[in-house]
Amino acid sequence: MEADKVIEVQVLDEKEAWTLFREKSGDRVDDLYLRPIAEEVAAECKGLPIALATVGKALKNRSIKTRKDALLQLRGANPTNFPQVLENVFMPLKLSYDFLETESEKSIFLLCCLFPEDYNIRIEDLALLSFGLGMFEGINNIEDGRNRTFHLLERLRSRFLLMTGTEEEEVKMHDVVRDVAIFMVQKKNKGF
């Protein structure tokens, strides 16, 4: 990411932020014992809609212990050499990534970050790449690989890690999500 590039990020006020977080996290956050921790988690998202939506969805129906751990992780954000605007969304997005349930979800998510910024990624291309790279255990033909790809992309969109592209058969990765994904993978795996 170029140092002089400016990313405009809409920031919600406290009430709007809570409304969005509650909508994505579910009515259960209104329970007397969950509400205080849920409000703290929402506050750590710094009013950024993408962070509120991804963290809220990731914590939906999770235990209070998981929510407390998420809060601890959000407060521990300390990305080095990372643009200031992304500093506020790094940990929420990393947390959403960490909460992905399968390695296949994580792999296809990371595969999407290899495409250029603002690129409409054809689902068929992802299916062929995923199948060709052997990313799906137990998948032996392209049709089954295609079905698995569609399923995983559906799950990633439901977690707000991907968006629908310009065409119905495409997905897109938000620029901020892509930048965070690339940063995470570079820190973890230099060869990526």
Q: 163-179, pLDDT tens digit by residue?
A: 888 898 999 998 778 87
Question: Can you give the pTM of this predicted structure?
Answer: 0.66
DSSP-assigned states of every residue in the chain: --TT---------HHHHHHHHHHHH-GGGGSTTTHHHHHHHHHHTTT-HHHHHHHHHHHTT--HHHHHHHHHHHHT---TT--HHHHHHHHHHHHHHHT-S-HHHHHHHHHHTTSPTT--EEHHHHHHHHHHTT-STT--SHHHHHHHHHHHHHHHHHTTSSEE-SSTTEEE--HHHHHHHHHHHHHH-TT-
pLDDT at 189 over 90: no
pLDDT at 143 over 80: yes
pLDDT at 17 over 90: yes
Q: How confident is the model at residue 77 (pLDDT cuts 50, 70, 90)?
A: low
Q: 20-33, pLDDT tens digit by residue?
A: 999 999 888 889 99
Please give the pLDDT value at position 87: 57
